[in-house]
């Protein structure tokens, strides 16, 4: 299995919309189904985005995306295990 790391920027957060495909908390690429919050953390001054993403064909999971955080995208064999 291979891993690619990306640092989330304010520009990435500003441009995300429903239907965009991003990594979930497990590094699996899944579409955004709902955006439920977007703002700036008053302590750090960094942006955040709260979304729901498709988890399976019949379920969603919530996820937050924070500016400055590193996300890992897993790809290759066994990426869904």
Beta bridge partners of 55: none
- What confidence category does residue 81 fall into, taking pLDDT thresholds of 50, 70 and 90? very low
Q: What is the residue extent of each domain of the chain?
A: 2-71
pTM above 0.85, yes or no: no
The model's pLDDT over 9-34, given as tens digits with 9 standing for 90+, comes to: 999 899 999 998 888 878 788 899 99
Q: What is the dihedral angle through the alpha carbons of 32, 19, 37, 47, rounded to the nearest 10 degrees? A: 90
SS3 27: coil
Instruction: Specify the residue for token string 């942006």.
Output: 47
CATH fold label, 2-71: SH3 type barrels. (2.30.30)
């Amino acid at each position: 299995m291979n891993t690619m790391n990306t640092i989330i920027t304010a520009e990435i957060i500003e441009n995300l919309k429903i239907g965009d495909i991003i990594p979930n908390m497990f590094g699996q690429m899944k579409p955004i189904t709902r955006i439920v919050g977007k703002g700036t953390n008053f302590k750090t001054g960094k942006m955040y985005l709260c979304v729901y993403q498709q988890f399976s064909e019949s379920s969603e999971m919530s996820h937050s995306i924070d500016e400055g955080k590193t996300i890992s995208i897993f790809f290759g064999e066994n990426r869904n295990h």
